[in-house]
Structure 1
Amino acid sequence: MELGIAFLLKKTIAWLLMPMPLGMIVLVTAIWLLHIGNVRRATYFILGSIIWFAIVTHASISSLLLLPLESQYKKIEQVPSNVKYILLLGGDKERRAWEAIRLYKMIEGVKIVTSGYSRHDKLSDAYKASKLLVEAGVRAEDIVMQEDVKDTREEAAKMKERVGTGPFLLVTSAYHMPRSMILFQQEGLYPIAAPGDFNDRGEDSIWSLFQARHLQKTERAFHEYIGLLWIYLRGVIYHDI
Structure 2
Amino acid sequence: MFFFLSKLLPLFVYPLGFSLLLMLASLVLLWKRPRWGAFAVFLAFVVLMAGANGWVCAGLVRSLESQHIPTDEVPNAEAIVVLGGATRSPSPPRPWVEVNEAGDRTLYGAKLYLDGKAEYVVLSGGRISWRGEVGSEAEDMAKIVEAMGVPSEQILLDRTSLNTHQNAVNVKEILEERGIQRVLLVTSALHMPRSLRVFKKQGIDAIPAPTDFLVTDASLAAMSDSWEAIVLNIMPDAQRLALTTRALKEYVGIVVYGLRGWL
TM-score bracket, normalised by the shorter chain, equals 0.7 to 0.9
Match of 1:226 in 2: 252
SS in 2 for 1:192: strand
SS at match of 1:168: strand
| 1:181 match | 196
The residue aligned with 1:148 is 160
Unaligned runs of at least 5 residues, structure 1: none
SS at match of 1:195: coil
Q: CA deviation at 1:39?
A: 3.6
Q: Once superposed, which parts of structure 1, at least 4 consecutive aligned residues long, lie more than 4 Å away?
A: none
**Residue of structure 2 equivalent to 1:41:** 36
Aligned length: 230
Structure 2 counterpart of 1:91: 85
Deviation at residue 206 of structure 1 after TM alignment: 4.4
Q: Whole-Å Cα distance in 2 between the matches of residues 141 and 58 of structure 1? A: 47
What is the SS of the residue equivalent to 1:112? strand
Aligned: 1:197 with 2:197: no
Q: Deviations over 1:24-59 (max 9, x none)?
A: 11122223334x354433222222111111100111
Asked if the contact 1:88/1:171 (under 8 Å) is kept, the reply is yes
Aligned to 2:260, what secondary structure does the other structure show?
helix
Q: CA deviation at 1:174?
A: 0.7
Report what 1:13 is aligned to.
9
Which sections of structure 2, spanning at least 5 residues, go unmatched? 87-101, 224-229
Equivalent residues of 1:76, 1:195 under 8 A apart: no
Q: 1:167: Cα distance to partner?
A: 0.3
Question: Cα–Cα, structure 1 residues 188 and 65, in superposed 2: closer, same or farther, change >3 Å?
Answer: same
Amino acid at match of 1:167: R
What's the RMSD between the two structures over aligned residues?
Answer: 2.3
Q: Distance in 1 between matches of 2:107 and 2:72?
A: 14
Per the normalisation by structure 1, the TM-score is 0.85
Retained in 2: the 8 A contact 1:85–1:168? yes
SS in 2 for 1:173: coil
Percent identity for Structure 1 against Structure 2: 28
Query: Secondary structure, in 3 states, of the residue corresponding to 2:203?
Result: coil
